[in-house]
């Protein structure tokens, strides 16, 4: 099966309705260019509110079934016949999660993934808002392939990518919100951010799609400039397409059958030694 994938990056404002409308316009444009799977950035219906600890921001959360972003993108996926992973701020009873649901090309909701790794640092204070995800790492069987999904900080952990690959993912998708460091503006993590995911693709021989946001967003105590750089790799980690800091989308074609044959021929999964990997289950590597 050949699949055309897209990654969208855009600047956002304080009006959630306008952000969702902008996202739908970008998806329409990507679909018109032939995209069958379109990845939007992390928490695209709002500004990146995690810069500050503010109780008022909890009002942005909603259950999956009625979340405005999920509702709008479900209708759009059905209309356009495309697969849409949708990142959103989820309220579940008294708990809150940084979540993602995958909408298949017929508009069916295939299920939920809750972000497992939650960062906490200057400008990225996500632990104030989100509980650690309790879904485990999930692969979704869609019309256009088996998609392994994770969210932003998850992308720095090779264990995430390996588990998704072991569970049959044919493409790894990472919606993202990353940019400057408020207390260390001289740091540009974009090259490191790109390379770590190229490594996931190469180590698992599974292509990666990453969609990051762009634009300068002001918090109460600082600001972040999101650097974009959304990209798509092949199964060796080589870049097939990469955006700069401008708004828009990128496209790449993937041959899933050819990739599956290459993984089988290379023997990476045949030669694994899970009996030796017990130390991964501990924090200090001694278990």
Comparing C-alpha atoms, which of 46, 94, 37 is closest to residue 67?
A: 46
Annotated catalytic residue 79: no
Report phi then psi at 108, rounded to 5. Answer: -75, 135
Output 83-86 pairs: Cβ under 8 A, ≥24 positions apart.
83/36, 83/37, 83/38, 83/142, 83/143, 83/144, 83/147, 84/27, 84/37, 84/38, 84/40, 85/37, 85/39, 85/40, 85/147, 85/149, 85/173, 85/175, 86/40
Query: What is the dihedral angle through the alpha carbons of 149, 187, 124, 169, rounded to the nearest 10 degrees?
Result: 10
Q: Which of 22, 50, 90, 115 is catalytic?
A: 115
Could you confirm whether 183 is annotated as catalytic?
A: no
User: What is the number of other CB atoms lying within 10 angstroms of the CB of residue 109?
Assistant: 15
Of 67, 66, 62, 22, the residue nearest 41 (C-alpha)? 22
- Residue 221 designated active-site: no
Query: Which listed residue (42, 90, 126, 217) is catalytic?
Result: 42
Catalytic residue among 22, 90, 152, 170: 152
- Find out whether 199 and 205 touch, Cβ atoms under 8 Å: no
Catalytic residue IDs: 42, 115, 152
């Amino acid at each position: 099966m050949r699949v055309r994938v897209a990654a969208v990056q855009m600047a956002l404002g304080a009006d959630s309705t306008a952000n969702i409308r902008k996202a739908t316009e970008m998806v329409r444009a990507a679909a018109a260019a032939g995209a069958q799977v379109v990845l939007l950035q992390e928490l695209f219906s709002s500004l990146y509110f995690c810069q500050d600890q503010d109780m008022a921001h909890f009002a942005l959360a909603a259950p999956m079934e009625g979340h405005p972003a999920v509702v709008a993108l479900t209708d759009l996926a059905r209309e356009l016949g495309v697969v849409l992973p949708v990142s959103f701020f989820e309220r579940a009873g008294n708990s809150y999660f940084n979540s993602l649901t995958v909408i298949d090309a017929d508009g069916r909701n295939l299920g939920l993934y809750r972000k497992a790794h939650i960062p906490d640092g200057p400008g990225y204070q996500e632990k104030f808002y989100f509980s650690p995800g309790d879904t485990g790492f999930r692969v979704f069987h869609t019309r256009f392939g088996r998609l392994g999904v994770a969210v932003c900080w998850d992308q720095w952990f090779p264990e995430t990518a390996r588990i998704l690959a072991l569970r049959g993912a044919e493409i790894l998708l990472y919606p993202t919100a990353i940019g400057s460091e408020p207390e260390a503006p001289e740091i540009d993590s974009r090259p490191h951010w790109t390379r770590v995911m190229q490594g996931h693709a190469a180590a698992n021989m599974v292509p990666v799609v990453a969609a990051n946001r762009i634009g300068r967003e002001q918090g109460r105590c600082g600001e972040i400039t999101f650097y974009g750089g959304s990209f798509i790799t092949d199964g060796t980690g080589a870049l097939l397409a990469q955006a700069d800091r401008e708004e828009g989308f990128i496209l790449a074609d993937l041959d899933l059958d050819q990739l599956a044959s290459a993984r089988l021929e290379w023997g990476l999964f045949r030669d694994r030694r899970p009996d030796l990997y017990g130390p991964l289950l501990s924090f200090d590597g001694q278990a």
